[in-house]
Amino acid sequence: MSGNRKLVIGGVVAAAAMLLMAACVLFAGLAHASSEGDRDASAYAAELAIAGLPAPAYSAQRLAGTICERRSEGISESAAIAYMEAPPPPIASHHQAMAMVMGAEWHFCPAYYQGGASGGYA
């Protein structure tokens, strides 16, 4: 096998592994690499990036503040997720919206974290 062909096959395998990892995070209930209520904007930004929404930590922290404020006003988790994916145009896909809302809850307002129990996985 030529060197170029090995390199291409290796790249394809690595890309597939990365996609599988991202899918596991999105479909297995959003694995959080830090502690609930830790207010870790960098960890939240990393989760958003895995979901395909790269953002600097300061932007992620502002987003979390907005989401937590809405949740404190009585907006349900499923309604917050639906708002993020509502047209026109959609802000995010359903799974990206889940990452945005549930990650914000996990890191910044854990009292509201339901992990999709309210219908976020519909």
Q: Is 117 among the domain residues?
A: no
Looking at per-residue pLDDT, the higher value among 34 and 107 belongs to 107
Q: Is 95 among the domain residues?
A: yes
Give residue 56's domain range: 3-112
pLDDT at residue 13 in the model? 40
Q: Is 120 among the domain residues?
A: no
Q: Which pLDDT tens digit goes with each residue over 105-121?
A: 999 999 998 875 544 43
What average pLDDT score do residues 26-31 get? 46
Assign residue 51 a region: left if phi > 0, alpha if psi is -120 to 50, beta otherwise?
alpha
Token output for 72? 């404190």
Q: Is the pLDDT score of 25 beyond 60?
A: no
What average pLDDT score do residues 73-87 get? 90
**Distance of alpha carbon 35 from alpha carbon 67, whole angstroms:** 19
Q: Is 55 among the domain residues?
A: yes
